[in-house]
Structure 1
Amino acid sequence: MASKRDWLDAGLVLLAEHGVPSVTIERLTERLGLSKGSFYHHFKGVTGYRTALLEHFEAERTTRFVEQAEQAEGDRLRTLMDLVLAPGPGLELEIAVRAWALQDAEARAVQERIDRTRVDYLTEICGDPDLAQALYLVVVGAGQVLPPLPGKQLKSALELVLGRRR
């Protein structure tokens, strides 16, 4: 039987690949090769699942990043940049959640909280609210241009803003 986390991780993949309309019980059960009964063992329905999915997204893409940066020895900002730029569905997932937030009040509230948390943390580690905002806007904007900015170019843009361009 799949764990609750397995269901949520599968939902993040679907969300990143195809957007929130793809996050259905049928698509999830198909992806995991499990029955609807297994889904209902963990969630009351798709609405409850989507709430849990937003919480999971926040935990994985914000809370975990902050915790890992805090535990790292050395430059917290560099550690945070490495986490943000790590291979995987990062930008695609961020785009999908932002698109969801434009159409759903609950997703919007979560996205607003995530944005505040991220900018506040950046401000704490940079010591400069304007720099923190600029760094965050570069990351968000990199995912919004088409095609999204690849990780190497995003890293260069961030380093340019930081004045660390080599």
Structure 2
Amino acid sequence: MASKRDWLDHGLDVLAAEGAQALTIERLSTRLGVTKGSFYHHFAGMGAYHQALLERFQQDNTSHHIEAAEAEPAPPEATLERLLASVMAGRRQNLETAVRAWAQRDPHVAAVLTEVDKSRMDYLESVCLRAGRTPAEARHVSQLLYVIIVGAGQTLPALSTEDVGQIYRLVLDRV
């Protein structure tokens, strides 16, 4: 029997590769090589599965990175470097784009993504404030850094990890 983690891992892979419309019990159970009953052992239905998937997305793609950046006391610049390293190392190709596309069609996903974006930008802003920026500067710098990371995944072809890192550092050096 597949574990709840297996269902969520495969769901994130399917979401990234094929989009939200591909998140079906049939497709996921076939991919996992298990019966549909395994799905219902872990989830009450697709609504519960989608909620768990979004929570996993938030944990893996927001909370995990903030925890990595804050793992030990460091100057704000070093904290931002750790954050960038964690984000780039954990980057699942196309996942962010797939979640954003899903949010365009599903108000619940849009609400979750709005909270994810807010928490990410709030964290960046807090680090910028620790660096001595005024509240207005901290807000704008955090927005700029966030747009770099999110926007990099929207270009075709997507920017390489190295290019994103260089752009991020270039902005940090100039702001």
When normalised by structure 2's length, the TM-score is 0.88
Q: What's the offset of the Cα at 1:72?
A: 3.6
What amino acid does structure 1 have at the position aligned with 2:38? S
What amino acid does structure 1 have at the position aligned with 2:6? D
Residue 3 of structure 2 is matched in structure 1 by 3
Give the Cα separation in 1 of the matches to 2:90 and 2:120: 20
What percent of counterpart residues are identical? Answer: 47
Give the Cα separation in 1 of the matches to 2:81 and 2:67: 14
Describe how 1:39-58 pairs up with structure 2 within 5 A: 39-58=39-58
Describe how 1:37-116 pairs up with structure 2 within 5 A: 37-74=37-74, 75-86=78-89, 88-89=91-92, 91-116=93-118
Give the Cα separation in 2 of the matches to 1:21 and 1:159: 37
Residue 17 of structure 1 is matched in structure 2 by 17
When normalised by structure 1's length, the TM-score is 0.93
Deviations 1:25-47 (A, max 9, x none): 11111111111111100011112
Q: What's the offset of the Cα at 1:106?
A: 0.6
Give the Cα separation in 2 of the matches to 1:19 and 1:73: 39
What amino acid does structure 2 have at the position aligned with 1:94? E
Q: Which runs of 5+ in 2 are unaligned?
A: 130-137
1:144 alignment partner, SS class = coil
Q: Which residue among 150, 164, 175 is the counterpart of 1:140?
A: 150
User: What's the Cα RMSD here?
Assistant: 1.4
Give the Cα separation in 2 of the matches to 1:140 and 1:132: 12
What amino acid does structure 1 have at the position aligned with 2:28? L
Give the Cα separation in 2 of the matches to 1:88 and 1:80: 12
Residue 131 of structure 1 is matched in structure 2 by 141
Q: Which runs of 5+ in 1 are unaligned?
A: none
1:85 alignment partner, SS class = helix
Give the Cα separation in 2 of the matches to 1:58 and 1:4: 16
- Tell me if structure 2 keeps the 8 A contact 1:72–1:79: no
Q: What's the offset of the Cα at 1:73?
A: 4.9
Structure of greater Rg: 2
